[in-house]
Amino acid sequence: MNKKAVSLFIAVVMLVAMAAGCAPAVAPEAPAAAPAAEVVTLEFTQWWEPELPEGEFRALMDEFEAQNPGIKVELISGPYSTTRDQVVAGAAAGTMSDVVGLDGAWVSDFVKQGALASLTDLMNQAGYDPSELAAQIQINGATYMIPVVNFVYPVFVNLDLMEQAGIASPPTSRSEFADAATKLTDASNNVHGWILPLSLEQPNGIQNDVMSWVWASGGSMMKEGMPDLGNDEVRSTMEYIKGLYDAGVIAPGAFSMREQDKVEEFTNGRVGMMVDSLAHITMIRERNPDLNFAITALPAVDGYTGKRGLPYASWGIGVSATSPHQAEAWKLVAFLMSEEVNSKLSSIANAFPGNVNSTPDFVQTDELFAAAFDVFTAGYLANEFVGLPVAENLMREFDEQFQLYLDNSQTLDEFLTNAQEAWMEHF
């Protein structure tokens, strides 16, 4: 090898060495990067989304997902009755969604089945301060449901029908209500003064449309925690409703009618008055923008001057005991109960908030809800079925006996005695 070749060889070797020195040292093979955390998808079964303006509830879920990148929410939405059937079936089979919308009447049964997680435990694990919660539904000292928003059940009145019937203002007493119901009824044109849903399949009409008359006059169906269906307040209320039934002022088909049927009849202008939830105002307006209606308190016994009990129902929320994602589920509950979000939800739902610091904007912007708020502040919330054992069964058992009484198949005494005996078996 000549000098030139040797020099070239040395230069190449030096270049290779320099390149090796500039390159990163070869290390033992690095472990593979940890895979990204798997996204948790929460199933949330509820009847709320269909009762809200389109897209509004999904927008809140999108906001939650943006704040919690590792969690997605799949909404399983349907009418109240469909949701109830799904949740009941899921509770029995152990397949309940991670997060569920709850009616307070269901809670006792679900807790006995072991279907609901203790929200008290989840709050403690998360270090959550419950002082902002307006209410908690507890059994044996533990919380199983939190009311997210609360809906009162005042009386809806068709103002155009009232004007046609020559009725100057909505009734405030039982005698005025009976008189108005009579004047509003035009059976030949399929128009009736009042509507009463008594379906045994969905017996919450007993809570919202029947016992509400007892509470409106400060009465009670209970005494010292036990059923007391034979008292004067309950007796007089049942006699009063039967008087309306016998007079033909109640829309036909009451025994098979459900809540949604009642709302449809009122929305279509075939009923003058109904007891109903504020949750349905948006739906009524969307389906019949021309319907002219008002809201008033449930009439009380003539001469009653005390505060009026106001029936109410909540969009309650709970977490499945079988959910593998309870910590994530609680994050969704806490999100909905936060002051800002609860204000938004109560505003779009036209309901009263579940966070004591939240303020819905409808009181200043909507006459109907301002009227409902006045009714609310003048009375007190009353629903004695919340937290009772097998509350829905209690409604159904009362409903069965009530229908026989309305149908003249038994006397008032037989009706109330049979209902009392049926109820006592659960206490």
pLDDT digits 0-9 by tens, 403-419: 999 999 999 999 999 99
The pTM assigned to this predicted structure is 0.73
Query: pLDDT band for position 321 (50/70/90)?
Result: very high
pLDDT at 35 over 90: no
Pairing of strands 352-353, 142-152: antiparallel
Task: Tokens for 386, please give them.
Answer: 């919340």
Q: What domains lie within the chain, and their CATH numbers?
A: 40-151+313-370 (3.40.190.10), 155-310+389-424 (3.40.190.10)
The span from the CA of 67 to the CA of 238, in Å, is: 52
Secondary structure of residue 263 in the 3-state scheme: helix
Secondary structure of residue 395 in the 3-state scheme: helix
Q: Averaged over 172-179, what is the pLDDT?
A: 98
pLDDT at 10 over 50: no
pLDDT at 92 over 90: yes
Query: Which single residue is written with the structure tokens 């009755």?
Result: 81
Q: How far is CA 300 from the centre of its chain?
A: 26
The span from the CA of 152 to the CA of 372, in Å, is: 8
DSSP letter string, 60-114 = HHHHHHHH-TTEEEEEEE--HHHHHHHHHHHHHHT---SEEEE-GGGHHHHHHTT
The span from the CA of 51 to the CA of 56, in Å, is: 10
Contact 289, 231 (CB under 8 A): no
Q: Please name the residues in contact with 22: beta carbons below 8 A apart, sequence gap of 6 or more.
A: none
Looking at 292-331, which runs of residues are DSSP E strands?
293-296, 309-310, 312-319
